Structure 1
């Protein structure tokens, strides 16, 4: 009997795991379960090209429609896995079917946090997580006049940029003083605040939302101080929560996600986890981390496939993400816990939105970002890896644009 591998979660991580299994020569059965009615798609286009009208729905899909049949991957869309029987090694789906597995991958992703406020159920109060969410939001932004974005994380800022680019008046409401403050720290957060204000976006920091008002449809947002903002569209981007219910019910270890080792194994050696939901031990950083970005889904899905096939996998990819807002494009690699760095080093002029930034802790580079400067990610990642290995950087040389980044690496 051929081996049966089951993947729960037909997002990017699950799709890449299936692709990698076939690419690595796995000849057994692969069943890929997805709750949504669509075949797997990528999420970055949802808050970028689709909202701007620059790309279509079809551009978001991971594979062509016939790829799954051509590669003998049984794709079961619109089918939720309800339970795992670890003793029998089976999963039971929402249609009542029971599927056996030799190895199981949980790539169940995350869900957006919902606002529990008066009026949060009014028409026009929207979230952005799924392809239908993006299609709906793109349609309403075409005619929106007053858009209020709740939350100044990556999704919130990208939505705000898209809405403003399409002509709407845009206001961002954020509980922290600055956008992306927890992720990037004060210095770089100021750059993004300046960018959005320069494009006419109003930013309310240190602010909360008390309620939404309107009849059937939202017409305004009331802040904690009692002030009222006009709004015919509200987009809430207040974070996501990992979908751990299935794993928890099965008795797997969970803690801010499904806990896995550096080989992406859960507390059950036959079950693996990848993508947003996986809280993995990172051997370079030396702690468990959960990463919610595109590159992690791609790389972790591929690594999980190799681990399922019995290969010796140590997942040590640096966290990486990118964003496009107006004419600012950026890439970031590394990991900085909130507030856990000593100082920033800039190479270039942040006020002109063309610079490199480095987060430094005890003289070591622990993260780096390139903004409107390209083809330097390999060098930045090498500096970050060296930093986590204990290399202390020469900060004066690090800040000097005349010195190639390659010359700052260990041994140069």
Structure 2
């Protein structure tokens, strides 16, 4: 079998592993080479900002697949290997060790990296980003080393920042979250949900500094961080800092090869890039949104940083590779765990949507539904997993539900769900 038929996957996280697995499930029989630039076998990432920091999860529980999976599926897993260049015309990948790989299909699942904090002191010891297993282990060690009453500042009030803050609190730290926007999760949540999240964290002992920029990080004579200086000049003493200010997609490999990028690698509903035989999926992919997630007057594509988007994009790519193309059509969904609260988000809300609350926010068990032209377009649930699953069906079926029915916790919403099979 010619090596030119090989599927080469650059990136060994959720998207890369799912693509390899789905390609095999759909009957793709040519060689598959999965390249990972980390030395660790592919692992779960959500516990890095949750259970691993709080001690509920150990590093040896994180494997994405069992140790025999890759050999049994005929997937050549090569760890600690970095791709440095792509020759699109020759269908060849250059590796950092000087080797090359010819491909029939190339998949870029290069993910994203933490956005750096552009202030003096960002390189001090005790300042941590959180993206990889090694990052998480370093944060875990720092929490342990700081001792009782350790003070942690988390810069960034998005999902990762808040998950880390909750985990550090559970591990015994005194935690302050610093967010430049006037409210938490401003990109993802409407004001009512942001206010709920802020109240929930304050009730559980976190300090929030909202609408506060960071001017500098200050260290002691040994180079260890000891304070965060806010834009208004105030100093917040701390023993450690964790950054949660977003990520940047790793598009450099694609850009250098002339593959179209704009806020990520541009892909269609089958994960195809502008280059023939080259696919992209996961956090690096700027995906064409399926019709069910279309936003009125909004972007037609988006980079969705979630396991679900990575897996769905990989499955669409696998269907193409296997000759049975099934474009991406699923409702986007996301989840986050903070303290004992499980947030589950389905669909993409838009500013003009009508918000309908089902349940009581004070009980920490509710769903906020978003109606667009009378149809359910999105839903944010807290500790209501069954309702979240139902919401995904309602969104997929564009269910028309009167607001008063949605708001009535006793009403049966299953009657409005679409029962026909998806796809």
- Same-fold call, TM > 0.5? yes
Which region of structure 1 is more displaced relative to structure 2, 233-242 or 278-287?
A: 278-287
Note the 1:380-391 alignment, pairs <5 A: 380-387=391-398
Q: Does the 8 Å CA contact 1:354/1:372 hold for their aligned counterparts?
A: yes
What is the Cα deviation at residue 194 of structure 1?
0.6
When structure 1 is superposed on structure 2, of 204-213 and 282-291 the one drifting more is 282-291
Over residues 306-335 of structure 1, what are the superposed CA-to-partner deviations in whole Å (9 max), with x where a residue is unaligned?
222222221012211111111111211101
Q: Give RMSD over aligned pairs.
A: 1.7
Pick from 31, 35, 38: which aligns with 1:36?
Answer: 38
What SS does structure 1 have at the residue aligned with 2:137?
A: helix
Would you say 1:171 and 2:176 are equivalent positions?
yes
Q: Scaled by the length of structure 1, what TM-score is found?
A: 0.95
Which deviates more from structure 2 when the two are superposed, residues 21-30 or residues 50-59?
A: 21-30
Kept in 2, the 8 Å contact 1:259–1:279? The answer is: yes
TM-aligned CA deviation for residue 140 of structure 1: 1.6
How many residue pairs match? The answer is: 407
CA distance in 2, matches of 1:372, 1:133: 29
Distance in 1 separating the partners of 2:373 and 2:73: 50
Which of 183, 191, 196 is 2:188 aligned to?
183
Post-superposition shift, 1:393?
Answer: 3.1
**Could you tell me how far apart the structure 2 residues matched to 1:95 and 1:143 are?**
37
2:43–2:62 contact (8 Å) kept in structure 1: yes
Residue of structure 2 in register with 1:117 after alignment: 119
Superposed CA deviations along residues 181-231 of structure 1, whole A, max 9, x for unmatched, are: 221110111111011000111111110000111121000000000011011
- For structure 2, the 5+ residue unaligned runs are 295-299
Give the structure-2-normalised TM-score. 0.93
Q: 1:210 aligns with which of 209, 212, 215?
A: 215
Q: Secondary structure of 1:84's partner? A: strand
Q: Would you identify which runs of 4 or more consecutive aligned residues in structure 1 move more than 6 Å? A: none
Residue 376 of structure 2 is aligned to residue 365 of structure 1: yes
**Residues of 2 paired with 1:238 and 1:385: CA distance?**
32
Alpha-carbon distance in 2 for matches of 1:243, 1:28: 27
* Alignment match of 1:51 (pick from 53, 69, 73): 53
Tell me the equivalent position of 1:68: 70
Structure-1 residue corresponding to 2:226: 219
Q: List per-residue Cα deviations over 1:283-323 (Å, max 9, x = no partner).
A: 31342121101122222222222222222221012211111
Asked whether the 8 Å contact 1:341–1:359 carries over to 2, the reply is no
For residues 304 and 410 of structure 1, do their structure 2 counterparts lie closer, same or farther at Cα, with a shift above 3 Å needed? closer
2:218 partner SS: strand
